[in-house]
Structures are given as C-alpha cells and as structure tokens.
Structure 1
Amino acid sequence: MRKSVISIAAVFAAAGLALTACSSGGGTDDATGGATSGGDGSAAGEATPDTTPVTINFTWWGNDDRADRYNQAIAKFNEAYPYITVQTSWQAFPDYWTARNTEAAGNALPDVMQFDSSYLREYASTNRLLDLQEFIDNGTIDLGNFDESLVAAGNLNDVQAAIPTSTNTLGMFVNPTVIEQVGVDFPADGYTYDEYNEFVQAVSDANVTNAEGYKLYGSGDYTSTFWFFLQWVIQQGEAPFTDDGQLNFTEDDVVEWLSLTADLRENKAVFPVDRGVALSPLGGFTVNEVAAEATWDNFMASYTADSGTDNLEIVPIWSGDNGTQNFFRPSMLLAAGANTEHAEAAATFINFLLTDPSVGEIFGTSKGVPADSEQRAAIVAEEGSTDAKVLAYEELIGETETSTAPIPVKGFGTIEEKWRNLGEELNYGNITPEQFADEWFAEASMAVG
C-alpha cells in the first residue's frame, strides 16, 4: 500500500499545489500556556498545555455510520484530553458546503472541520483557514508517519491550510444480490462505456421488481457527476484543467459526454431521478434498487452499512480511449477556521484524528486509506471485510497505470454543484445536453474567472 500513498503524494507535489494564497495567521488559544518559559521549568519556545476546560466545535459530512465512528473517536479523545469538550454536527455533502459558505461569509467557521480539496483554493486564498504549520513546528501536530509530499496536498503558498487524512480513487461498486435478481451479467474486466450502457439497458429490459414493488435498474445516469466527466476527459488523453487553474475543455466536450447516456435516458433505462430525490441522502444503490454505481472507493463502508448488504464488490471503472487511467487523491482533509479562539485545542484534536492508532482501527478505510502509517497498521482487515476490499482495490490500482489527479480550480464546489443540479434537470427532461452545457459554462465563467 505504500506505493499507492507515495503515488498520490508525488502527483500533488508535481502539480504544484502551492498557488495564490495568503497566510491565515495563528492566533492565541486559551487552552495553552504560551511559548515562554513557565514556572514548571519548560524551556522558552515550548508550548505548555493548560488543562483549563475548553469547548470546540467540529463538523463533517457523511451518514449515520460515519457519525457513529466519529463519536467513538471523540470518546477516545476525551479519555486522553478530558478538559477539551467537542461539540459535533454533520450534514449531507451539498448541504454541508452551503452551511460552510454562510459561516465563512460571517467569519464564523467551526474550530475544526472535515475538508475537501475541491474547496481548498477559495477558502485558503481568502484567509478563511488557520495555518497549521505553527502547530506542526511546536509538536502539537505530529506528522512523522506521513509522507512529506502528501502533506503538501494541503499546503498553498507555504500555508498549511489543511492536512490530508487519507487517500481514495474511483471504483465501480457492484451488488451481486441485485445482479442475481435481474439475471444480467456484469461486463468483464476492461469494459468500455458502451458495454456498460448495454448492461444498464439489459437490466432495465429485464423489468424485475423487488418485494416493495420498485423496479430494479443497472445504474443511475453517471454523466450527472462532474468527477466522472473529469475522469472521461483524462481518458481522452487531455488534462481537464490548465496549470493556471482554468478549464481545458469546451461545451462540445460536455455535450459529447452527456450524449453517452442519451439513449438510456430516452428509454427510461436509468434509475429515475424523482426516486433518487425522494431517497436522498440515500440512493438507489444503497437501498438495493440499483446493480452498480461508480464512486470513491472509501464509500465501501458507508454503502455496506446503508444497504445492509455485506457482499458488495468493487471493480475498476469504465475504460476509455487511453485505458482506465485512475488517479489517487486525498479523500478528505482536516482544517481549522482561522477565526477559532481555541487554536491549540483545535490542533490537538486534529492531531488525534490524524495520528492516533485507535482512530485508524475505528474508521478503517471508511474515509479512505489512512495517510498515517500507524493508523494503516491498526486497521483490522479480516478477509472479505470492507476494509480488506478497499485495501486490495487500492493496491490493484497502484499496480496499474495511473494518471495525474486533476487539481480542482477555484470555485470547484460551485461548478460541481451546478453540474449536479443540471443533471437532475436533464433527467427530468427539462433541458437538452446543449442547454446543460450553455448554462453550466455561464456559471463556470463567473465561479472560475
């Protein structure tokens, strides 16, 4: 697995993540004794922990399974740091960033938050995130078991705005139980988009319903996901973004991509969009009404928990003109709001989540493969377990040809959400692929610049 971790680290280092950003500052925490010599004999320059009770807030996106794991981790944290109270909250991914954007506008971001690389440029470049380098330097955050280049994935213009917790890559999840119910074989390894579409159509044609009377489908409309489009662009031999953070594709490219599933939409062979909206934040795959779904590999744990199905499998995604061309990226990061009044306590909590072996044991690969080597070693990956499946999958991808991970442009979160919303409208039949492309580029021209 070390090969996979080093691969993504090198990717981000080579891509030059140190872009335009400003220092977000450190700040004094009322949970630290400061950096001067104290009465306990500590040397100048060393932080002296103060056990005065302090409360910090922490938020993340996810589901009930992730919430349960975080609660377990926080209970472990409180055993070691009983004077730091952690107040928690969580939301589904789209709602999460709506809330963060509102807080950022009011200079009221949480003390600690789960973060995504898609939003790193815009938050760091506007001084919204605390520079964690101070706490790495004073030992509060210990990254001795991290690859240095991977840490650079959260460093913008010499500001350590966030720290990666783990890595992930795209995979195709398959539900063998649904496959058996519909009686249609999933395509063999190396399958193309056309072969996948044939599978989806065949499942729809089988016209099988479950016990609740809902029709079973092969897949949702995968063209409605922006990351899959980026993957397709890479498979055409192109980089989706330029080195200076601009779009490197055209409206015609978007229309061509959306046209891949035009027949499936016309034949009503993909999972119905109205059913998907009704199920949110769950989806067709997680309620066992869809046979296959592409997503990030670390979703294995949550998909297993949500579906109640322990035999889910993960295989490589569709193959394009230049092969599969998977890429590794930080699955998520941890960051602190620059506005925090409890910087030392926040850094202490971040360090615990990043490095304590018990956290690796609790989360396994549910947030991706841990970046900290001791957390990876703590994962109990029994044969056939969700963790074993993800570890084996990343090892498989690490042994094949991988491409450079696209570095999200400024405004990525905005244009990704616009793509999702337009995808719903496309599947409702309210717009055409051409209208989709026109509206999306109008939004992107404002968000990206």
Structure 2
Amino acid sequence: MPEPRRSGGHRLLSRRTVLASAAVGLSTALTPALSACSAASGGTSGGITLRFSWWGNDDRAARTEQAVRLFEEEHPGVKVRTSNADFGSYLQKLATQAAGGGLPDVVQLDYRQISQYAGSKAILPLGDAIDDGTIRTSELDAGLLRTGSYQDRQYALPMGRGITGYAYDSALYKKAGIPTPQPSWTWEEWAKDNRRIADLRLRSPDGRPVTGANDGGGNEDVFEDWLRSRGGQLYASQTRLGFTEDDLTGFWTFFDTLRRQGAVAAARDTAQANSTETSPMGRGLAAADFTWDAPFPGYTALLGDGTHFAPVPTTDGHAGAYFKPSMLVGVGAHTAHPKEAAQLVDFLVNDLRAGDVLGFTRSTPPNRTVAGRVAKTLEGPELEIYQYAVKMEKYGLSAPPTAPPRGDLAIQTAFGREYQRVMFGLATPRQAARELIDEAGRELRS
C-alpha cells in the first residue's frame, strides 16, 4: 500500500511513476538474463554472507541496521551486507540487478512488484521454508499474507500493514462546521464537505482560493477504494480488468465535477504535485489529502498537530479501504544460502526484539504480537494511525486482493495520464475511460 517520501507510503505520483519506469527496463531484459548464472553470495572467513537491500529514509535505515546486527548475534556464522536507497533509485537498481540475475539474497519489495518478479522467477517461492517452520506465519493475518502470493504460491511476506485515509486540517473542518469524519461517512458527504470548505472563501498563502481536498481523480488507489466500496475490484484475474467503462466514467465525472465547482484542487496544482510538500494541501491550497497511514506523520511535521487522519469515504456505509502490505520481503532466486536468507526474513517479521527496534518504520508490524507490543510505545501521529487501524478493523473491511498483475504498472501510469487529459479539458470522462480500458486490455493480454 503508498513515501512522501515515506512511503512505502505515500507515493503520491512520484512513486507510481518510478515503479512503472523500473518495470519497463525489467520486462525487456529479465527473462533471458535469469538463465545466466548469478554472482552467488560469498563466504567470509569460512562463514556465510547475505546481501539484504531495502528502500527508506535515514530512520528506517538506522533501525534496520540495528535489527540486522541482532540477527547476526543469533547466527554467529552469518554476516549480512546491507544496502539501501531512496525509493526511486532503489527500484531502478533492483530492475538492473534482476536483469543481470543478481537480486540480493533478501530483498524488500513493493506490492506491485510481486507478480513481476515471481512470474519471472527472480524470487524464490517460500512454501518449503514455511512448511518446515523456518518462516513462521501463524501470527500473520491470512488475508494480508495472501498479498505476497502469485499463482497460489507464497513468494514474499508483508513487512508492514498499511491502510489508506485522508490527512485533513481539523481547524478548517471545524471552521466549516464539519464534524469529525467517521468510518461510515459517504462519498456524497465528503463531496458536500469539500464544497462547504470552498464556500468559506479562504485564501492560501499565495492568495488563491482554498479548496476542500486534493483532486484524487488521477490516483488509482482512490479509484480502487471507490470501486471496492461499490462491490467492485480492479482486476478480475491476472489477465482481465474487474471494472467497466461505466465504472470509470462515473468516478472521473465525480471528481471532474468537484474540480469545476472549485471543491477540489485546480488542475495545474494537481499536475505539479509529486510530494507532500508540493501537493495542494502541503502548499495551503487544500484542506485534505488522500494518503497512506505510514506517511501521515510527515503531514503533521509539515502542517502541525491540527492535522489528523480520517477514513476514506464509503458507499452507503460499505468501506472500500483495505489493509495492504506497505512493503514485502522476499528471497532472491539465485541465493547460495536459501535457508539463512529465509531465517533473516523470519527474524525481521516475527522476532520480538527486531520488532522493538524496527517499530512502525514500515507501518504497523504484520505480526500481531509484535504490533501490540510496539503499540504501547507509540505517541502523537504514530499512535493516531495505529488507533485508526484498530478502529477500521473493528468497523469491518473486506480482505485484500492478491498482488496485481504485471500489467498494473503500466496501467496505473496510463490512469494518471488519461485523467490529466480530463483535467485540462482534452477529453471527456467517458472518452478518457474508453482509452484507459482499451490500453489496459492490451497490457493485460501481452
């Protein structure tokens, strides 16, 4: 699920764009390259060396290094050589490594990469390690665990459990007379509230009108929540869409109308957004922004403690949001040490001491015992998003889908591009929806 850059978190537009561009390089070179021998992880002084890579900020890096050192203490014959980078650089490097047959022994993966890497045999299935107890899954939610599967085989484990919501300015909501959003509020109520904020006629720091929210029409994650709240889904299978031209036309018409009314951000401000800071909300042009839970503390750091986290609207009380892996961890197919790599995967996900160190740096820990233990140490915005997740779990959410098909990376890029045509008056919602459906069909059939 979404880093502003947390993100594994909030990607906003930049994360999605990078995922798609990395996939292009991977898809053209991966299959033939994997038949070549990889550079195996070497031993050090008679021991074993594993390579482990991930993306993330400095805090995540420091905590991950500390957890790795704990693993080495428990496995004195194993050394772990680590590397990390920002999300964009990481994805590009991983695609290059995969094309050369040299994925690290243990690798952090995005939800949208699972089908790509599993289908190309760049990562190992983990079934044997799970069956023999090397990797434990009893404390993981079955639905969340399923997100790391491909063709009914487990290829990766979630490293965090994320969920979507809206960061919102509580002072502006109060000024407009909008009550604290509850899990059952609807898209119609959300639209009405955005118009109420716009009707205040407030001015941003640059003198322009303040709108109710960022324009989510170009965000495939918003569409998925909208679709699921109506009983639909993005994909019916690995080769077929789960929505129709009418579904997408309705969604884009909804946002197009709100933008024309001034209730959500103007087209030029949406097009310029590639981070929290450059988003309409970050620039004082909107009162709310669709985001993920893990990057939410970045909003409070930028905008103050009056920023809170609200549920994604529903359709007649039916929530479309779901718990998605913020990121996953898998084992490179060409590792020379699959057992030790599996042990590291298990340690990072299930060990209590590792959980204490890693905290919420990858969103809510997927292991329920670890999550409950770490939650006792939380405060401020991190405590708020943990409590939000607990509230939404009690409210009732449907199970997450399996990892999306390989073509999703190109489809989500086309999704944003087609909606930009709508925003700038180059296409009607239906014309753009028809183009998207046609392009998506080609991607899924290829």
- TM-score grouping bracket, smaller chain normalisation: 0.7 to 0.9
Q: 1:139 to 1:304 in 2, by over 3 A?
A: farther
**1:68: how far off?**
1.6
Cα offset, 1:396, TM superposition: 1.8
Say whether the 8 Å CA contact 1:264–1:270 is kept in structure 2. Answer: yes
What secondary structure sits across from 1:223 in the alignment?
A: coil
Please list every run of 5 or more consecutive structure 1 residues that lacks an aligned counterpart in the other structure: 1-21, 34-48
- 1:399 has 2:394 as partner: yes
Identity score, percent: 23
Alpha-carbon RMSD across the aligned residues, in angstroms, is 3.7
Whether the 8 Å CA contact 2:186–2:317 is kept in 1: the answer is no
Q: Aligned to 1:324, what secondary structure does the other structure show?
A: coil
How is 1:112-131 mapped onto 2 (pairs within 5 angstroms)? 112-131=106-125
| 1:412 pairs with 2:405 | no
Amino acid at match of 1:327: Y
What residue is the counterpart of 1:360 in the other structure? 355
Indicate the residue corresponding to 1:228 in structure 2: 222
Is the CA contact (8 Å cut-off) linking 2:84 and 2:90 kept in structure 1?
no
**Aligned positions of 1:22-421 closer than 5 A:** 30=41, 51=47, 54=49, 56-60=51-55, 64=57, 67-78=58-69, 80-81=71-72, 83-92=79-88, 97=91, 100-101=94-95, 103-136=97-130, 141-143=135-137, 145-147=139-141, 150-157=144-151, 159-179=153-173, 183=176, 185=178, 189=182, 190-211=184-205, 213=207, 215-242=209-236, 245-282=239-276, 283-286=279-282, 289-305=285-301, 307=302, 309-321=304-316, 323-340=318-335, 343=338, 346-381=341-376, 385-407=380-402, 408-421=404-417
Deviates further, 373-382 or 138-147: 138-147
Count of paired positions: 403
1:429: Cα distance to partner?
3.2
**Contact 2:41–2:336, Cα closer than 8 Å, also in 1:** yes
Structure 2 Cα separation of the partners of residues 122 and 323 of structure 1: 31
CA shift, 1:204, in A, is: 2.9
Q: 1:324 to 1:279 in 2, by over 3 A?
A: closer
**Aligned mates of 1:414, 1:381 — CA distance in 2:** 41
CA contact (8 A) 1:216 1:289 kept: yes
CA distance in 1, matches of 2:334, 2:85: 18
Q: Is residue 358–residue 378 contact of structure 1 (8 Å, CA) maintained in 2?
A: no
Structure 2 gap ranges (5+): 1-30, 74-78
Choose the corresponding residue for 1:430, options 426, 429, 442: 426
Give the secondary structure class of the aligned counterpart of 2:295: helix
Structure 1 length normalisation: TM-score?
Answer: 0.75
Provide Cα deviations, 1:279-304, integer angstroms capped at 9, x if missing partner: 52323334554322233333333433
Measure the CA separation in 1 of the matches of 2:39 and 2:142.
27
Q: Could you tell me the TM-score, scaled by structure 2's length?
A: 0.76
Q: What is the one-letter code of the residue matched to 1:354?
A: V
Relative distance call for 1:184 and 1:289 in structure 2 (3 A) is farther
Partners of 1:297 and 1:368 within 8 A in 2: yes
- d(CA) in 1 for partners of 2:300, 2:256: 30
CA distance in 1, matches of 2:284, 2:335: 42
Other structure's SS at 1:242 match: strand
CA distance in 2, matches of 1:174, 1:162: 33
Q: Is residue 223–residue 257 contact of structure 1 (8 Å, CA) maintained in 2?
A: yes
Deviations 1:124-173 (A, max 9, x none): 12212123345556665454643566544423346431111232333232
- Match for residue 41 of structure 1? none
Answer whether contact 1:241 1:247 (CA < 8 A) is retained. yes
| Cα displacement (A) at 1:384 | 5.5
Deviations 1:178-209 (A, max 9, x none): 445x6453575443323222222332343323
- Matches of 2:243 and 2:325, distance apart in 1: 24
Task: Indicate if the aligned counterparts of 1:31 and 1:342 stay in contact, CA closer than 8 A.
Answer: no
Following superposition, the deviation at residue 324 of structure 1 comes to: 2.7
SS of 2:235's equivalent? coil
Match of 2:441 in 1: 445
Distance 1:313 1:383 in 2: 16
For 2:291, the aligned partner's letter is T
Shift of 1:318: 1.3
Instruction: Supply the AA of the counterpart residue of 1:263.
Output: T
Instruction: Give the conservation status (yes or no) of the 8 Å contact 1:411–1:448.
Output: yes
Q: Is the 8 A contact 1:58 1:87 kept in 2?
A: yes
Deviations 1:326-368 (A, max 9, x none): 4333332112332445655644543343233344335544533
